[in-house]
Each structure stands twice: as C-alpha cells, then as structure tokens.
Amino acid sequence: MIGVRLKSLKRHGRSKEVEAQKTMTLGKISMSAGRVGKALGLSAIGLLAAAVPSFAQDAPAAPSALATGAANGAAMASSAGSYTPMTPTPGIGMPVDGGLNLQAQFSPTGVYGEWLHHGLLWVCAIISLFVLILLGIIIVRFNRRANPVASKTSHNTVLEVVWTLLPVLILVGIAIPSIDLIAKQYKPAPKTALTVKITGNQWFWTYGYPDNGDFEVISNMLNIPGEPTINNGVREVGSKPWDGPSHLEVDNRMVVPAGEPIRLQITAADVIHSFAVPSLWFKLDAVPGRINEKVLFIEKPGVYYGQCSELCGAKHGYMPIAVEALPRDKYNAWVLTHAGGAIDGQKPAADAAPAAAAPAAAPAGDASEAPAGEATAEAE
Ligand SMILES: [Cu+2]
C-alpha cells in the first residue's frame, strides 16, 4: 500500500518535471529535482537499507588493510559503515535561479577573488561615471553655439601631471592585489597535504587517492527522469534523499577533508577536459600526458558542484563535478568504506586504545605484522 503510494508520488514528481523541463533554466531544473527528492524522502529508509549490503561487501577487505596499517579491526569495522553522503544546502555550491553574481565562495582565494572582483566593479563604475559627467559638461558648455570664441589654451602643466599620475596610481593599486591573488592561487601545496589525482575521461571523472591506499572512485552524472539515458546502469537523480540538482549530481562524489590544503593533480585520459568548481574558485585544465597541480582549500564542510569546462566531445555537458568536503573524521570513515582504503599516519585518536590490546591477541610481536586472520578474530 505504501509502496503504491510512493510510486504514484514518484510518477507525479517525474511527470511534473518532464512538463516543466520544456521551458526550464538550469536553476529551475535544480529546484524541481529538489521536489522529486522530497517526494521520495519517505522511501529513504528503504533505500538506506538497500545500501547497507554494499558497505558490507567492502567490509571483508577492511581487516586486511587494517592489519598492515594499525591492527585495529574493531574501530575499522565500526567506522566502515558510518558514511552517508551529505545532503547539499540549496543555493550553496551550485547555480541559483536568476543569479548574476559570483557563487558564494568557500575557499580563501575565492573570498579574496570575490573581494577583488567587487572592488574592480566599483573602480570601473566610478571611472565610467566620472568620464560621462566630464563629457556631459563639455557637450553643454563648449559647443559652438554656447562658446563662439574658442580658447587658445594648449598646455596646463598641473592638469597634465594629474591626468597622467592618477591613472598610473589607479593601475598600480589594481595590480598589487591582482598579482598577489595569482601568486596565492598557484602557491604549491605543503609537503603534508593530501593528494587527490583527478582524471578527465570522455565523459566522466575518476578520482584517485594515492595517500589512502590508492583506491579509485569513478564519478558519473546521474540520469534525468523523463530524458534519454546518459549513463547506462546509473540511477536517476532524486532517487536518494541526498541528491542535489539534476545535471550536477553524480553517483560517486569526490570526497575530501575540509579545512586543510589538498593537492589536486589533474590529467586526462583522452582529450582536454577542465576541472572547474565555481564556488571553490577552482579551474584547471586536464591535459592528456601532462599533470597540472593546484591546491584546493575548502573552508567549510558541504557539497560543491562544478562542470567540465573545456569542450570535450558529444557528452561534454554531461560530466559534472561534485565535491563533498567532510570533517577529517568523517572523511576517514568514508575512506574506510572502500576496498583497500587506508588512513596513513593520520589515524584518529580513537584508534589508539584498542591498538594497545592488540599484543594480547597477537603476542608474536609487531602488531603491524599480525596476520589478517587474527585481526578479523579481534573484530568479532
Ligand atoms: Cu570534459
């Protein structure tokens, strides 16, 4: 009975979206996707239950990864299932309906860049207005009728010095923060920064985590209800409670820790793509046979959307980017949901206590060399 009701809700939500899409802008599509998401909210519990086995599948790999890392099966197993994708905040990290301004910024360079952008707009506006007023005065006061006897003045030293120096000072004033911003954008990452390897493919992104056991995440755009299938075997947007806007949400997001520098190394497998996330002030080309590197620093946990920004073929418009920034502990839990995922040298403090008990279970010596079997036994 509930199933039938949910189905009808779902169909209702979809048919609404189909009819609306004919005239929709991207922002409107986002909103309707939100409606579908809400309509499906009730089925979230069932979907969550369905998601659990997929975590369970990864679980057997966890103890062995742990044995090499820290011999702590219990902590690993408990954190392994604790990741649920974050629900994005409407209007944050995504385009908004009728938006003319920059998206709200969530990185230090982004905040700086936004400040400079607004400052330049003011400088442009004030200079334009000043020139317009001067032009108006000249047109009215110095036309042939109003001023029949023209002045023979050809030089005015003070005026000439002022109209040369003032623009120079304005340009220098603009150049200083501009060059500073460029320098900050391309400052290399600190040695300790987490590395994420991004590869552009026709037409999806892959994210590699060499510092966390070198697993890889494949990220495809979600299909849109009522529209031709873009990615076979990928679910439809709005079928999970945490789904963001259509055309921007993906099946597997690029998950990173918030509040720390991340070294992004970007390349491509086929043609040139470009990794761009407007709300993080980030855009860097993905070029085959070449690695481009830039630091990403996300100030606040959240979901931030972007798109491939280099025309790369037929489905260029269907390879969005979804970056999910999590607090460190939640990021670590996410890492451990992947087969082979490991936390190197950045173990959460909670792991320390059970690790002390390890020698009792494995008296043979170094806990790091404990056979996987013992780690599994400890986990139970
Ligand atoms: Cu592309």
272 C-alpha to ligand 1 centroid (Å): 7
Q: Which residue has the higher pLDDT, 267 or 37?
A: 267
Are both 67 and 33 inside the same structural domain? Answer: no
Residue range 263-279, pLDDT digits in tens: 999 999 999 999 999 99
Rounded Cα distance, 297 and 258, in Å: 7
Take residue 18 and report the two structure tokens written for it: 């189909």
Are both 34 and 66 inside the same structural domain? Answer: no
222 C-alpha to ligand 1 centroid (Å): 16
Take residue 70 and report the two structure tokens written for it: 């820290």
Q: Which residue has the higher pLDDT, 308 or 347?
A: 308
203 C-alpha to ligand 1 centroid (Å): 6
Of 60-64, 144-148, 219-223, the range with the lowest mean pLDDT is: 60-64
Average pLDDT value for the chain: 77
351 C-alpha to ligand 1 centroid (Å): 41
286 C-alpha to ligand 1 centroid (Å): 8
To the nearest whole percent, how much of the chain has pLDDT over 90?
63
* Closest among 232, 202, 236 to 313, alpha carbons compared: 202
Amino acid sitting at position 242:
W
State the residue for tokens 């439809």: 236
User: Does 191 fall in a domain?
Assistant: no
Are both 74 and 42 inside the same structural domain? Answer: no
Residue 216 confidence (pLDDT): 94
Are both 15 and 71 inside the same structural domain? Answer: no
Rounded Cα distance, 167 and 162, in Å: 9
User: Does 32 fall in a domain?
Assistant: yes
Per-residue confidence at 67, pLDDT binned at 50, 70, 90?
A: very low
User: Does 293 fall in a domain?
Assistant: no
User: Does 20 fall in a domain?
Assistant: yes
Q: Which residue has the higher pLDDT, 88 or 27?
A: 88
| Domain boundaries, position 112 | 108-143+157-185
User: Does 309 fall in a domain?
Assistant: no
Q: What is the pTM of this model?
A: 0.67
* DSSP E strand boundaries for 128-232: 194-201, 204-209, 215-219
User: Does 96 fall in a domain?
Assistant: no
Q: Please compute the mean of the pLDDT values over residues 282-309 and round it to a whole number.
A: 96
Q: How many domains does the chain have?
A: 3
313 C-alpha to ligand 1 centroid (Å): 7
312 C-alpha to ligand 1 centroid (Å): 5
56 C-alpha to ligand 1 centroid (Å): 33
Are both 116 and 179 inside the same structural domain? Answer: yes
208 C-alpha to ligand 1 centroid (Å): 17
Q: Please compute the mean of the pLDDT values over residues 1-21 and round it to a whole number.
A: 42
Neighbours of 206 (CB within 10 A): 16
User: Does 117 fall in a domain?
Assistant: yes
Interhelix angle 372-379/61-69, nearest 10 degrees: 110
Are both 41 and 67 inside the same structural domain? Answer: no
Rounded Cα distance, 63 and 362, in Å: 14
254 C-alpha to ligand 1 centroid (Å): 16
262 C-alpha to ligand 1 centroid (Å): 22
Neighbours of 74 (CB within 10 A): 18
Per-residue confidence at 147, pLDDT binned at 50, 70, 90?
A: confident
Residue range 234-252, pLDDT digits in tens: 999 999 999 999 999 999 9
| pLDDT higher than 60, residue 335 | yes
The length of the chain is 380
Q: Please compute the mean of the pLDDT values over residues 335-357 and round it to a whole number.
A: 61
317 C-alpha to ligand 1 centroid (Å): 8
Q: Please compute the mean of the pLDDT values over residues 201-218 and round it to a whole number.
A: 94
User: Does 204 fall in a domain?
Assistant: no
Whether the bond into 203 is cis, omega within 30 of 0: yes
Residue 153 confidence (pLDDT): 86
List CB-based neighbours of ion ligand 1 within 5 Å.
Answer: 273, 308, 312, 319
| pLDDT higher than 70, residue 312 | yes
